[in-house]
Amino acid sequence: MTGSQILLQLNYWLIIIVMMMGFYVVLTHENMIKKLIGLGVFQTSVYFLYIVPGKVIGGTAPIIASGYQVYSNPLPHVLILTAIVVGVATLALGLALVIRINEAYGTIEEDDLYGRGEWHQ
Amino acid sequence: MASIAPHFSVLCVVIPLFGALLCAIIRNSRAAWLLAVCSALCSFLCAIFLLIHVKNGVVSYAIGGWQPPIGIEYRVDSFNAYVLALISAVGCLSILYAHNAISEVSPQNRSWYFSMMLLCLTGVMGMAATGDAFNLFVFMEIAALSSYVLIALGKQREALVAAYQYLIVGTIGATFYIIGIGFLYVSTGTLNIADLALRITPIKTTIPVLTGIGFLITGLSIKAAIFPLHAWLPNAYRFAPVPASALLSGTATKVALYILLRFIFGVLGAQFLLGTFGFYEVMVTFSLGAILCGSIVAVFQKNLRRMLAYSSVAQVGYITLGVALANENGLTGSLIHIVGHGITKAGLFFVAGSLLARLGSDHIADLAGAGRRMPWTVGSFIVLSLSMVGLPGTVGFLGKWYIAFAAVEHGSWWLAIIVIITSLFALIYMGRFIEMAYFSSRNEEKMKFLANPMSWNMGLSVAIVTGLCVWLGIDTEVLIDKARAAALLLMGANL
Amino acid sequence: MKQNPIIRIIVKLLVPFIVLFALYVQLHGDLGPGGGFQAGVIMAGVVVIYSLIFGSTAAEKLISFSIIRSLIPIGVLIYVGVGLFSLIKGNNYLDYSALHAEAAVGQHMGIFVVELAVFVTVFATMTAIFYAFVERQRQNEEDPE
């Protein structure tokens, strides 16, 4: 592909930018809730990764109608519904853990946490 | 019999799920425990039936009546059935052990804890049985979410942080897996693993496929705790309640290794890896890193469970060493060691939990003289640690023997020597505890004897695991047979 | 907020309509956006708004925590039950065509029952999460005293 064609794949650029932003937040931030938010952004970019190629060029909505031969792919939407639910469950569990950690330690910053517990026992 | 046989592949996944849901409704923890043990046992029997039946050919089962490759397929072949038997056995034994071993969980919540253990078992059984890549992700997340809950209920507050760290790292791993599958789906148009193996052959070296494979292998390595990505494991195994540590060490990491092998050998093919990637060099480096770092750090641990966790990291290094060699003996050795390590490590965690329950501590220094107070328990610890070292006559020896043999066959003598020498490290760290337990009398007065004696179910689990270790080590054909059949399947065609 | 008459009356008027809307979303899942997940969350929203206005004890009298705790696995049990029913009838697991003599009607019935199961579990889970927060808040308020 030529350089200008690569630059025009705006959808895929967006996917990569959002993915790396989310991943960066997970890796660098110390606050536990911010990590969970970064994880959510990271997972959202993956939803894009499935749905964007699902649209077939020249395809119509995937409902059988006379006169149309090319349909868009309905499967990625189903897969992403499942992935969204999994993401919500992970977020809920993560937040519940953060609440308990806050009650147990009094802080949700990871570098403060490592000073307060008995880690090398 | 032929008509009912395919249904067992879905029953071994649905029975623990059904049991988990019934356990969540029952309030009485003893009734919930009995139900949990029964459903895990039924799942184990289904897996054994599949193991026997799979000699007649691959069992393919279309969920919902929709035929593959469009529908979701449960596909059990000799590799699959082998792993299913291991994880259902470890699951059954862990749930059997768990009855009085979860004092961390309040009595009214115990039935939910058994429900979570059964859900974790459902997840790993589903991961092993399914033949559809996205269905695998769903089961992976079921197993992962229930294991985060299982870990978070440990006694110390550090268990919460360990569970949170595992959540972040594990979700990143699962998301990498799903990114990899996304690239493969876009390139080939199918999610069925067997169909993927066929369709990927002409496009194996194109950039999207290579990127997808890279993400996939990284994600699965995170889940399997392969060397540089193992950081979540020591904290998770140290702070979780003992039945959860045993269950996770025997199932979750092993199934991730199974999927890694399925994609690397089953979908890509052994010839592709040995040619294109630099696979051998990278895997050998990481395996040696795992073995050396895991063993050396384990020597310096003061806590028994943390030592066992670092030992797990080292043993996974042996398994990936066999995979790196990519010949038939290497794969056979890895598969034997998957079973050997799964059973032995679960047994070691059972013993550590029994010592914790009866003597009140799992610090090695506090357990001095334990050998005289609980002779049978520490005796089984000795047998299990001999298996971890690799003494002939125990199951741990078989795997390491085949891996060393495969290294010699490959031409890398130095790897075989390293395998033998590093097994002695296991002797050091296991031996430290045994020496403290038998030959040290400093802490006799300080050792607290808790009121309740070790319950019969804990003793039974320890006895069964020790017996299995010795039996599989002596009657070697049982294990080698099946592992070799699975290895031949992997080395063979693209399926 | 119980004291404020406007909010109290409006919420009492709105709650039946929200329940109706949840049922609408549930039943029209195959014709438009909707289905079990969305309907379950809307229905849980009913319990949340009722609890916010009238207090958590009134909400507990409406639907108690133990019923919600039992509803969570019951939804999934219905789903697994449909699958096992197909298995008993001789077809594969979760083969909805086994539910009725005609395959198409069987598929329709199967999806309907399964979406109902999802509705029950999602509603119960969301409500249970909310109740857990309320319980925690209550415990935290009792502790310093």
Alpha-carbon gap, residue B91 to B150, rounded angstroms = 13
Q: What is the phi/psi pair of residue B5, to 5°? A: -60, -45
The CA angle B406-B409-B413, to the nearest 5 degrees, is 90
Which residue would you say has higher pLDDT here, B119 or B67? B119
Q: Which of B175, B73, B64, B66 is nearest to B132 (CA)?
A: B73
CB contact B155 to A (< 8 Å): no
What CA–CA distances, in Å, run from B453 to B360, B437, B456, C6? 12, 19, 9, 63
Q: Identify the closest residue of chain C to A63 by CA–CA distance.
A: C31
Q: What is the phi/psi pair of residue C136, to 5°? A: -65, -45
Please give the full DSSP string across A33-49, using - where no structure is assigned: HHHHHHHHHHHHHHHHH
A→C contacts (Cβ < 8 Å), by residue, are 81, 85, 92, 99
DSSP-based three-state secondary structure for B487: helix
| Token reading at B289 | 């890193």
| Best B120, B157, B297 residue to mutate vs chain A (most A CBs within 10 Å) | B157
- Residue C93, amino acid: Y
Band of pLDDT at residue A97, cut at 50, 70 and 90: very high
Considering the domain boundaries, does residue A38 fall inside one?
yes
Inform me whether the pLDDT recorded for B495 exceeds 50. Answer: no
pLDDT at B1: 47
Inform me whether the pLDDT recorded for B291 exceeds 70. Answer: yes
Which residue would you say has higher pLDDT here, B14 or A115? B14
Considering the domain boundaries, does residue B289 fall inside one?
yes
Considering the domain boundaries, does residue A13 fall inside one?
yes
Which residue would you say has higher pLDDT here, B452 or B52? B52
DSSP-based three-state secondary structure for B34: helix
Helix %, strand %, coil % of chain C (to 5): 80, 0, 20
| Token reading at B441 | 């009398």
Q: What is the phi/psi pair of residue B392, to 5°? A: -60, 140
Residue B439: CB atoms within 10 Å: 10
Q: A65: domain range?
A: 3-113
Q: B441: domain range?
A: 270-495
Alpha-carbon gap, residue B220 to B18, rounded angstroms = 28
CB contact C136 to A (< 8 Å): yes
Least confident of A4-8, B24-28, B443-447: B443-447
* Cβ atoms of residues B231 and B104 within 8 Å: no
Inform me whether the pLDDT recorded for B361 exceeds 50. Answer: yes
What are the residue ranges of helices labelled H in B328-476? 328-359, 370-373, 375-389, 395-410, 413-439, 456-474
The answer to whether C136 contacts A99, with C-beta atoms less than 8 Å apart, is yes
Q: Which residues pair with B303 in a beta bridge?
A: B363
Q: Which of B65, B59, B30 is nearest to B46 (CA)?
A: B59
Choose the closest CB to A97 out of B152, B303, B363: B152
The CA angle B487-B92-B318, to the nearest 5 degrees, is 35
| Best B156, B160, B229 residue to mutate vs chain A (most A CBs within 10 Å) | B160
Considering the domain boundaries, does residue B166 fall inside one?
no
pTM: 0.94
pLDDT at B433: 85
Inform me whether the pLDDT recorded for B202 exceeds 80. Answer: yes
| First-to-final CA distance of chain B | 26
Inform me whether the pLDDT recorded for B176 exceeds 80. Answer: yes
Considering the domain boundaries, does residue A9 fall inside one?
yes
Domain count along chain C: 1
The CA angle B296-B302-B303, to the nearest 5 degrees, is 105
Alpha-carbon gap, residue A108 to B1, rounded angstroms = 57
Domain count along chain B: 1
Considering the domain boundaries, does residue A21 fall inside one?
yes
CB contact B363 to A (< 8 Å): yes
Domain count along chain A: 1
Please give the full DSSP string across B374-399, using - where no structure is assigned: SHHHHHHHHHHHHHHHT-BTBHHHHH
CB contact B156 to A (< 8 Å): yes
The answer to whether B138 contacts A90, with C-beta atoms less than 8 Å apart, is no
Considering the domain boundaries, does residue A120 fall inside one?
no
Least confident of B33-37, B230-234, C137-141: C137-141
- Residue B6, amino acid: P
Please give the full DSSP string across B338-354, using - where no structure is assigned: HHHHHHHHHHHHHHHHH
Inform me whether the pLDDT recorded for C1 exceeds 70. Answer: no
Average pLDDT, chain B: 89
Taking the CA atoms of A38, A42, A47 and A51 in sequence, report the sign of the dihedral they define. positive
B52-111 residue pLDDT tens: 998 888 889 999 888 888 889 999 999 999 999 999 999 999 999 998 888 888 888 899
| Rounded average pLDDT over B231-258 | 93
- Name residues whose C-beta falls within 8 Å of residue B28's C-beta, 6 or more positions apart in sequence: B111
pLDDT at B183: 95
| Rounded average pLDDT over B464-468 | 91
* Cβ atoms of residues B348 and B383 within 8 Å: no
Q: What is the phi/psi pair of residue B492, to 5°? A: -75, -140
Please give the full DSSP string across B233-295, using - where no structure is assigned: HHHHHHHS-HHHHHHHHHTHHHHHHHHHHIIIIIII-HHHHHHHT-HHHHHHHHHHHHHHHHH
Burial class of residue B213 in the structure, from the number of CB atoms within 10 Å of its CB (0-12 exposed, 13-18 middle, 19+ buried) = buried
Inform me whether the pLDDT recorded for B403 exceeds 60. Answer: yes
- Name residues whose C-beta falls within 8 Å of residue B493's C-beta, 6 or more positions apart in sequence: none
Alpha-carbon gap, residue B43 to B48, rounded angstroms = 9
pLDDT at B18: 96
Contacts of B among chains (3+ CB pairs under 8 A): A, C
Residue B297: CB atoms within 10 Å: 18
Q: Which of A72, A67, A17, A12 is nearest to A41 (CA)?
A: A17
CA atoms within 13 A on the CB side of B172: 23
Alpha-carbon gap, residue B412 to B180, rounded angstroms = 32
Residues in chain B within 8 Å Cβ distance of A79:
134
pLDDT at A110: 85
pLDDT at B335: 94
* Cβ atoms of residues B111 and B27 within 8 Å: yes
CB contact B168 to A (< 8 Å): yes
Average pLDDT, chain A: 90
Write out the H or E segment, with its range, that includes residue B61: strand B59-62
Choose the closest CB to A92 out of C37, C129, C136: C129
Q: Which of B389, B298, B384, B285 is nearest to B343 (CA)?
A: B384
pLDDT at B443: 57
* Cβ atoms of residues B143 and B123 within 8 Å: yes
- Name residues whose C-beta falls within 8 Å of residue B308's C-beta, 6 or more positions apart in sequence: B237, B245, B249, B345, B348, B349, B352
Q: Is the ipTM of this complex over 0.85?
A: yes
B158-173 residue pLDDT tens: 999 999 999 999 999 9
Considering the domain boundaries, does residue B184 fall inside one?
no
Q: C39: domain range?
A: 5-142
Considering the domain boundaries, does residue B332 fall inside one?
yes
What CATH number is attached to the domain comprising A55? Answer: 1.10.287.3510
Considering the domain boundaries, does residue B344 fall inside one?
yes
Residue A61: CB atoms within 10 Å: 9
Which residue would you say has higher pLDDT here, C140 or B35? B35
* Cβ atoms of residues C119 and C78 within 8 Å: no
Contacts of C among chains (3+ CB pairs under 8 A): A, B
| Rounded average pLDDT over C49-59 | 89
In chain B, how long is the greatest CA-to-CA distance? 71
Alpha-carbon gap, residue A23 to B219, rounded angstroms = 14
Write out the H or E segment, with its range, that includes residue B73: strand B73-76
Alpha-carbon gap, residue B434 to B389, rounded angstroms = 13
Chain A 16-75, CB below 8 Å of chain B: which residues? 19, 23, 26, 32, 35-36, 39, 42-43, 46, 49-50, 53
| Rounded average pLDDT over B442-446 | 56
* Cβ atoms of residues B294 and B204 within 8 Å: no
Inform me whether the pLDDT recorded for C45 exceeds 80. Answer: yes
N residues, chain A = 121
CB contact B61 to C (< 8 Å): yes
- Name residues whose C-beta falls within 8 Å of residue B440's C-beta, 6 or more positions apart in sequence: B368, B369
The residue with tokens 């009485």 is B28
Write out the H or E segment, with its range, that includes residue B76: strand B73-76
Alpha-carbon gap, residue B45 to B92, rounded angstroms = 10
pLDDT at B494: 43
- Residue A95, amino acid: L
Which residue would you say has higher pLDDT here, B179 or B364? B179
| Token reading at B174 | 């699962």
